[in-house]
Amino acid sequence: MDFELNEEQKMWRQAVHDFCVQEILPVAAEMDTSAELKTELLEKMARLGLLGLNIPEAYGGAGVDAISAAIAIEELGWASGSVALSISAHNGLASAPIALFGTEEQKARWLPPLTNGRSGLASLALTEPGGGSDLVGGVQTHAELDGDQWRINGSKAWITNASLAPFIITLCRTDPAGGSRSLSLIVVPTDAPGLHIHPAEKKMGVRASPAHSLSYEQVRVPADHVLGQAGRGLYQTLEVLDGGRIGIGALSVGLGQAAMEEAIRYARQREAFGQSLAGHAAIQAMIADAATQIEASRLMVYRAAWLKEAGRRFTREAAMGKLMATEAAERVCRDAIQILGAYGYSTEYPVERFYRDARAMTIGEGTSEVQRLVIARRVFDLA
């Protein structure tokens, strides 16, 4: 076993970290307050390869290994949960299905623009107003073939990056009979007549990462916009979600790390009862728990990424990593607020933002309850 990052991965972490310190950290609080992602960051991130983590070099991407991709999202999460969520969704949720399942022609057409930061960010629409956890039963948005076009009707909810995207990959029911082979992923350009992108949701956290509800009214797209094969949408989605969960786990490790660092900084300089907070056993215990939970989460997330990179099955490990890291981040951010006392509850310090951002992570890309279902199925050998 080797728990060391290789030299390339260490250099990559440093490069992304330096970028976050220079470009993202100074504007993170402002983006949260205004609930707006600074889109000028996109081209800068593109230059570093952050918009093409999952896109092969042949299509203009950085094509980094899965651990390096996790490291990048972790560092972004350390600087801004909002930026990290939008970039994680862009790479892990929405570029990945094209790279994994697109035909050569589809990859050549849709992937290169996603890497340059000038065409916006990619978006994947699975969730509907009627439900997100139950994809098989819950997807009502339907697409019918009408000559050489799909005709799409329905609605989606909570779709990250929709307002920034050149197209939205949409999970549609293409066989009214239902069942696991009745769904397909269809690429819908955002300028298609009949597609309405509603104003961004007003969220508790990750406020600068835009999430929208969408309506599709007789939207028409060419038949060749179905990704790979029609009827494979559920399997494609589940595979993509496995990878996406590594991203959300990594993001949560970054959020927890940022909260712990802030708590340590504060505990060193604040005095109570004649000594620094850092000298009190109760505070030390909270920091010790935080350090342990963050380290455990990081190892689990990297292990899932390592399995992915090795081409092995990683569904169980990705679900475990996401469950562990997201729930740990929430606890660590909660304790960071506690350590800062009243200041922790103030917007003057960033820990309340970290806490609000972390709260979303046990919900998006499969709730904690869904992760437990995925894990239990595999532990009981039912999958």
Spatial separation of the C-alpha atoms in residues 127 and 141, rounded to whole Å: 10
Which of 74, 239, 365, 369 is labelled catalytic? 365
Nearer to ligand FAD, 96 or 277 (CB): 96
Residue 379, H or E segment:
helix 368-379
For 190, the token pair is 């955002």
Site track 6-45 with ligand FAD (rule: CB under 6 A), x = hit: ----------------------------------------
Spatial separation of the C-alpha atoms in residues 100 and 277, rounded to whole Å: 50
Count interface residues toward ligand FAD (CB under 6 A): 22
The answer to whether 208 touches 356, Cβ cutoff 8 Å, is no
Binding piece for ligand FAD, criterion CB under 6 A, among 123-131, 178-186, 215-223, 333-341: 123-131
Q: 204 to 233, contacts with ligand FAD by CB under 6 A?
A: 206, 211
DSSP, collapsed to helix, strand or coil, labels residue 344 as: helix
| Residues 6 or more apart in contact with residue 183 via CB below 8 angstroms | 135, 136, 139, 171, 172, 173, 174, 231, 233, 234, 237
Calculate the CA 366 to chain-centre distance. Answer: 11
Told to judge if 365 belongs to the known catalytic residues of this protein, a careful annotator would answer yes
In sequence order, the β-bridge partners of residue 124 are: 169
Residue 178 interacts with ligand FAD (CB under 6 A): yes or no: no
Spatial separation of the C-alpha atoms in residues 13 and 77, rounded to whole Å: 13
Q: Give the nearest distance from C-beta 264 to ligand FAD in angstroms.
A: 28
Which parts of 36-80 fold into alpha helices (H)? Answer: 40-48, 66-79
Residue 83 interacts with ligand FAD (CB under 6 A): yes or no: no
In a 13 Å sphere around the CA of 333, the CA atoms on its Cβ side amount to 30
Binding piece for ligand FAD, criterion CB under 6 A, among 8-16, 299-307, 323-331, 364-372: 364-372
Residue 127 interacts with ligand FAD (CB under 6 A): yes or no: yes
Residue 323 interacts with ligand FAD (CB under 6 A): yes or no: no
Among 10, 26, 108, 131, the residue binding ligand FAD under the rule CB under 6 A is 131
Binding piece for ligand FAD, criterion CB under 6 A, among 126-134, 214-222, 251-259, 296-304: 126-134
Q: Give the nearest distance from C-beta 99 to ligand FAD in angstroms.
A: 17
The answer to whether 354 touches 81, Cβ cutoff 8 Å, is yes
Residue showing the smallest CB distance to ligand FAD in the complex: 132
Residue 133 interacts with ligand FAD (CB under 6 A): yes or no: yes
Residues that bind ligand FAD (CB under 6 A): 89, 124-127, 131-133, 158-160, 206, 211, 360, 363-367, 369-370, 373
Catalytic residue numbers, as ranges: 365
